[in-house]
Structure 1
């Protein structure tokens, strides 16, 4: 009841200020002031003010907010302690898991290609590359040229 009276008084005062502003030929400002001054009485008429005052002035509601805050603080403290101790999902646990699993699914798949005639046991000859049939030194592109010719490109 008291909040409804206060809101009605605020709205009446705002409409009075809007009328004075309109009298001074500042119609745009007067319209804005009138719009803002109608908000409190509109909130009273819709029942929002009674709902808000019911929340604000009930001790059980504040106790509920206090319990929610306490729950949040306890949760954050447990997370901080878990990180400091090295609990679930810690850096130490991730390192241990990485050490136990294999490096790759197919380790040979990531090995570099050694060409058709060489194996890992036979390293390439150092120095000049052996010339091919055309007399040019054999380089890495000859394999690519052979593949392209095979596919007709």
Structure 2
């Protein structure tokens, strides 16, 4: 009973503020304040306020919230253990096993020139020019920088 009275008083005060705001020609703000001030009356009329008041004072409801909290803790705890162990289900285990058992293909790709010549078709030079992503080119750049700084 007291909760309904408080909600009605809050709504009446909010509507009064909305009227003063509208008098100052701030109609958009007044409409927004009026909307907020009607929410408590709507909650009283739907019975939500009475239900919340009964729930807040009920030991059975608090015991139910405790049971729900314990269930949530158990659920999150078991999920954390599963993630730590890496056993989140049979599907992931089977996928991991299949990846380990996969065999790489033994055939190599044919040369880009379209010839099927063997190793004798390679250039006769002992050392080929470094490619852009070659590691020796990277090290030569580093060596040049170190020499420049006297290291």
How much has 1:82 moved relative to structure 2? 3.7
Could you say which structure has the higher helix fraction?
2
Q: Normalization by structure 1: what TM-score?
A: 0.54
Size of the aligned set, in residue pairs, is 118
How much has 1:96 moved relative to structure 2? 6.2
Paired position in structure 2 for 1:58: 58
Paired position in structure 2 for 1:135: none
Structure 1: 5+ residue stretches without partners: 129-153
Question: RMSD over aligned Cα, in angstroms?
Answer: 3.5
Structure 2: 5+ residue stretches without partners: 126-151
Larger radius of gyration: 1
* CA shift in 2, pair 1:48/1:76, >3 Å: closer
Divergent runs of 4+, >6 A: 93-96
Counterpart contact for 2:18–2:34, Cα < 8 Å: yes
Cα distance in structure 1, aligned partners of 2:8 and 2:61? 27
Paired position in structure 1 for 2:45: 45
Answering whether residue 80 of structure 2 is matched by residue 80 of structure 1, we say yes
Counterpart contact for 2:15–2:37, Cα < 8 Å: yes
Aligned ranges 1:6-21 → 2 under 5 Å: 6-21=6-21
